[in-house]
Amino acid sequence: MPNLKSITVGKFARRSIAEGTHISSDNANSYKKGLAEKFFHHFKTFDPAGTELVTLHTFISNFKAFVIGKYHGAERVHLQLYLDEFCFRFNRRRYWESMFERLLNAAVGCPAVK
């Protein structure tokens, strides 16, 4: 999305999410207004000093470092593939003993990047 204005969020949601879907988010105004028409929107105000989103913030920070460190100068068109790789590694970070076999299976089933 080019920005987080409520109109942009609403257009994206109507294009990408089935009407009537339950969506949970934070209390940002752009989400509240943009999702109000066609979706069941549940939102929560988070305490900025709290620890509720620490894992998410750590994940995002690590992803940024991963992309900048490994794929500096990367093309935007491949960003989804980089995110997929990072999520794959993150979700399997505790299963190192079978990582090679799992990675090989995933690579065999992955379409070639053009």
Per-residue pLDDT of 5-22, as tens digits, reads 888 888 888 888 888 888
CA atoms within 13 A on the CB side of 8: 7
Same domain membership, residue 68 and residue 26: no
Q: Do 77 and 100 belong together in one domain?
A: yes
DSSP 3-state helix, strand, coil percentages of the chain (rounded to 5)? 55, 10, 35
In the chain, the number of structural domains is: 2
69, 92: one domain: yes
Residues 25 and 69 in one domain: no
pLDDT in tens, 73-96: 677 788 888 889 888 888 878 877
Domain region containing 79: 54-109
Q: Can you say how many angstroms the Cα of residue 68 is from the centroid of all Cα atoms in its chain?
A: 17
Same domain membership, residue 35 and residue 62: no
61 and 30 in a single domain? The answer is no
